[in-house]
Structure 1
Amino acid sequence: MAKDEKAKAKVEQAKGKAKETTGRAVGNEGLAAKGRAEKAKGDIRQAKEKTKDAFKD
């Protein structure tokens, strides 16, 4: 299960970064903001998984 969550985090981060970059490139601040939000969601998910890993054992 943890690997699935870690993979979801990486995918969210990558999609968010792509949206943010695309939004900036075309001058669409709304798309850039959505990308930043999605990337942040992935960052939070990744931090949660790292915390869970630290408390295993």
Structure 2
Amino acid sequence: MAGNQKAKAKAEQAKGKAKEALGRAVGNERMEAEGRTQGAKGDARQTKEKAKDVFKH
């Protein structure tokens, strides 16, 4: 299950980066901001999963 959550975190980070880049390319500030937010959520999820791994072992 932890591997699944880690994969979700990576996917969310990638989606966020893509959305941010697309927003920047087309000049849509809102899309760019949404991408940064989504990337930050992915970062937070990844950090949470890493912390769970530390306490697990």
What residue is the counterpart of 2:41 in the other structure?
Answer: 41
Query: Residue by residue, what CA displacement relative to the aligned partner does 1:16-55 show, whole Å, maximum 9, x if unpaired?
Result: 0000000001100000000000000000000000000011
What residue is the counterpart of 1:25 in the other structure?
Answer: 25
Runs of 4+ aligned structure 1 residues displaced above 6 Å come to: none
Q: How many pairs align?
A: 57
SS of 2:50's equivalent in the other structure is: helix
Q: TM-score, normalised by structure 2?
A: 0.97
Q: CA RMSD in A?
A: 0.5
Percent identity of the aligned residues?
A: 68
What residue is the counterpart of 1:7 in the other structure?
Answer: 7
